[in-house]
């Protein structure tokens, strides 16, 4: 329960840096320019602002980019005119059955609530919205939550589960693991991402040994390199651009402890580790979502542990004083006087910065 109490004690506000840049897209922005702007600003998603309704209506993510490519792609020689001409609002209208309402959280809600919302809604990004102004202050992700936890990890009591292995704790996915080969086409990989609702594909050789990984984030390079007109390219070819800086796939073994796995994810700043056996064959994937779900939802009997609630999970955490529960009450928190200065990047400012104001 240590981590549950820690995350119940800290607010979403505590995660917000004192200075940050937030990219916001107006729904009148062209689809093509929106994804160029994601690349230009080095972000993976952005809130969508509807100037007519004067409110945020959703998030533009790389998954949206994949769906757009799937819908408009015809052949390697065909031009994707719709991608060049359509506005974001048009795209949302086309996919109105799949476009979900914006899921958000208030800055004074707990990080426990944020984790619960991320996992239960199966989203990777949670906008923090000021209820008074309606402004988006920050985007919470699994990775940012883990990074925040690691600021205090050595001040917290160490639960026994941290010394147990992945095999003992049964954390991760080990059945029907989706993989790809170097010869797999980008178009087929995109289909796997959408149909199987996964965020990465381990790339294996003929013996099932791990060679590389193709993640959803890699798809954004199609926009960066303006190569989205040809999706009949192999993953091996598509990944050549990163060979100079890529340090290899982050992986782990079933006999490694939860503490070691969390440390590796935190240091590498990745969303997942590929689990391999002694011959380096892919046998599973353990994600940040898996870990946070185990640490935070399992003790209180939520998520897939809803029917196996432990006796201690039924006690009221809210009634306990943090200083008496074994979690350090003296751990510093973000001072409430220090409001972050958010720089909003709209379609006008993007056009000015890049010269793409046509």
Going by C-alpha positions, the residue among 253, 262, 268 that lies closest to residue 287 is 262
Residue 311 lies in a domain: no
CATH number for 13 = 3.10.580.10
pLDDT in tens, 59-97: 988 888 888 888 877 766 556 666 667 888 888 777 665
- Tokens matching residue 5: 């109490």
Distance of CA 246 to the CA centre of its chain: 20
The sheet with strand 45-50 has its strands ordered as 25-26, 45-50, 55-61
Decide if 347 is inside a domain: no
Long-range contacts from 90-98, C-beta under 8 angstroms, 24+ separation: 90/31, 91/31, 91/64, 92/27, 92/48, 92/57, 92/58, 95/67, 95/71, 98/67
pLDDT at position 77, please?
57
pLDDT of residue 227: 75
Is 31 inside a domain boundary?
Answer: yes
The DSSP code sequence of 160-210 is GGGGSBHHHHT-SB-SS---B-TT-BHHHHHHHHHHTT-SEEEEE-TT-BE
Domain holding 14, by residue range, is 2-300
Q: Is residue 228 part of a domain?
A: yes
Residue 344 lies in a domain: no
Question: Would 327 be classed as within a structural domain?
Answer: no
Which tokens belong to 343? 């720089």
Task: Give strand pairing partners of 19.
Answer: 341
Tens digits of residue pLDDT in 121-158? 999 999 999 999 989 999 999 999 999 999 999 999 99
Q: Is residue 331 part of a domain?
A: no
* Model pLDDT for residues 322-346, shown as the tens digit of each residue: 333 344 434 444 434 444 444 455 5
Does any domain span residue 154? yes
Q: Residue 263: its pLDDT value, please?
A: 94
Total domains in the chain come to 1
What whole-number distance in Å separates Cα of residue 22 and Cα of residue 88? 18
């Amino acid at each position: 329960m240590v981590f549950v109490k820690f995350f119940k004690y800290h607010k979403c506000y505590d995660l917000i840096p004192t200075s940050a840049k937030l990219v916001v897209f107006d729904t009148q922005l062209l689809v093509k320019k929106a994804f160029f702007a994601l690349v230009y600003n080095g972000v993976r998603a952005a809130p969508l602002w509807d100037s007519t309704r004067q409110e945020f209506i959703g998030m533009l993510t790389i998954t949206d980019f994949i769906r757009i490519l799937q819908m408009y792609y015809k052949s390697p020689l065909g031009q994707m005119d719709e991608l060049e001409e359509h506005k974001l609002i048009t795209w949302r209208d086309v996919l109105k059955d799949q476009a979900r309402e914006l899921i958000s959280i208030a800055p004074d809600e707990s990080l426990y609530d944020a984790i619960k919302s991320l996992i239960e809604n199966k989203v990777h990004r949670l906008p923090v919205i000021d209820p008074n102004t309606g402004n988006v202050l920050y985007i919470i992700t699994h990775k940012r939550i883990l990074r925040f936890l690691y600021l205090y990890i050595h001040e917290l009591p160490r639960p026994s589960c941290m010394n147990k292995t992945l095999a003992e704790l049964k954390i991760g996915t080990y059945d029907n693991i989706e993989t790809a080969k170097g010869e797999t086409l980008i178009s087929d990989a995109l289909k796997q991402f959408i149909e199987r609702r996964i965020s990465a594909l381990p790339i294996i050789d003929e013996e099932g040994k791990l060679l590389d990984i193709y993640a959803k984030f890699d798809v954004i390079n199609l926009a960066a390199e303006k190569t989205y007109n040809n999706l009949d390219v192999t993953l091996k070819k598509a990944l050549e651009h990163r060979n100079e800086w890529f340090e290899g796939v982050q992986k782990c073994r079933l006999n490694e402890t939860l503490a070691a796995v969390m440390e590796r994810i935190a240091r590498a700043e990745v969303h997942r580790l590929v689990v391999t056996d002694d011959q380096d064959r892919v046998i599973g994937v353990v994600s940040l979502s898996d870990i946070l779900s185990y640490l935070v939802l399992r003790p209180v009997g939520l998520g897939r542990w809803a029917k196996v609630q432990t006796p201690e999970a039924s006690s009221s955490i809210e009634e306990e004083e943090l200083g008496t529960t074994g979690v350090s009450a003296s751990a510093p928190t973000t001072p409430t006087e220090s409001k972050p200065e958010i720089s909003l990047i709209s379609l006008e400012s993007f056009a000015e910065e890049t010269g793409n104001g046509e």
